[in-house]
Amino acid sequence: MQLKRVVVTGLGALTPIGNTLPQFWENLIAGVSGSAAITRFDASKFKTRFACELKGFKIEDHFERKEGRKIDPYAQYGLVASAEAILDSGLDLEVVNKDRVGVIWGSGIGGLDTFLEECGNYAKGDGTPRFNPFFIPKMIVDILSGHISIKYGFRGPNFTTVSACASSTNSLIDAYTYIRLGKADVIVSGGSEAAVNPAGMGGFNAMKALSERNDSPETASRPFDKDRDGFVMGEGAGSIILEELGHALNRGAKIYAEVVGSGMTADAHHMTAPHPEGLGAINVMNLALQDAGLTTSGIDYINVHGTSTPLGDIAETKAILKVFGADAYKLNISSTKSMTGHLLGAAGAVEAIATIMAVKNDIVPPTINHFTDDPELDNNLNFTFNKAQHRVVNAALSNTFGFGGHNASVIVKKFQ
């Protein structure tokens, strides 16, 4: 069977460092931190009192009040990012065959805000079950792919991938695969998350996963730095329009990049800790390279998972050295989580957008907040510390790894 070629024709971003794609990219290249004191709730009693929240996002700018109350924030974010991506793609919704347009979304948690609110209301009551009739449809993790298809009338493949922090990379990979196999012409893929709330912050604090650098939140996310002490919670959404090449060319679409390879593996090791030697990460990068038909010398940039956790950064670096060998020293490596924080299930989509834009613009975004080299890492690697670098980026790889040992990698390259 002749597999179809798949290209990126639209992007949308709603992030802690920009509420649109242009704002996001500008601040990413400038090395802007999205981390600040939490405004969403009173976090004064929490071990971590800061996060990468959205800035200046107002629900009423995008939804009528009655409509917005029926949709959890994670779904609001995804709808806003997807609206930007669909507009950016130039798809003519009056002409496109909507039976051949799908939506494959990713989220690790879904409607946590709604779940927390409804259970809190019940706990404060007299035991009488008084729940919002929209409780379940607001909370369930698959509802956003449904919302997008309903809004635009897309009747193609429609579902949600859940693999913790790898969720939206899995959504991108599934969309890529369905189009390759000829099962759709266009798929809206991406991810969204809204976990900056007492349950999200408290739960990750209890796991000791979050940075507690309350005296300097803007420098708290410091991947590959000796003094890193955990990740910074982020929120938002990223949306990517994937399209079969012939379909895109026939309508004269602009093309950002081509998706050429993917890999998915499991660590089979631990609930939350990475394999100490990065075994799953080694396997997933090798599979992505094999799928793309590329050798290690063909990759110019890796957007790493790079969460700023003591164990994770070491394991991923070991994996890169094992896979790329001498070619590892020719790469640019960067963790954009140093700026956006960790968007959990939305991380893969937002970081894939950063990777696609690096390929399109030949600019590698930085890993900010580097102060002290970690002697446990090979500091001869180019981590793109503190300042963006201009270089030709013909092909780039994006890694995401999730609790449960889920690993997903995707490769994009310049369209030719």
119 is catalytic: no
Phi, psi values for residue 279, rounded to 5°: -60, -50
Q: How far apart are CA 408 and CA 174, in angstroms?
A: 11
Using an 8 Å Cβ cutoff, are 13 and 353 in contact? yes
269 is catalytic: no
Contacting residues for 206 by C-beta, under 8 A, at least 6 apart: none
Beta strands in 204-256 (DSSP E): 236-244
Helix axes 198-206, 112-124, angle to 10 degrees: 100
Q: How far apart are CA 82 and CA 114, in angstroms?
A: 21
- Which of 147, 342, 370, 406 is catalytic? The answer is 342
342 is catalytic: yes
- Which of 147, 247, 305, 406 is catalytic? The answer is 305
Site of tokens 């030719």 = 416
CA 45 to chain centre: 29
Q: How far apart are CA 154 and CA 157, in angstroms?
A: 9
| Closest by Cα among 408, 365, 397, 384 to 170 | 408
| Closest by Cα among 15, 217, 186, 16 to 101 | 186
- Which of 165, 275, 370, 406 is catalytic? The answer is 165
How many CB atoms sit inside 10 A of residue 344's CB? 29
Read off the amino acid at residue 259: V
Residues taking part in catalysis: 165, 305, 342
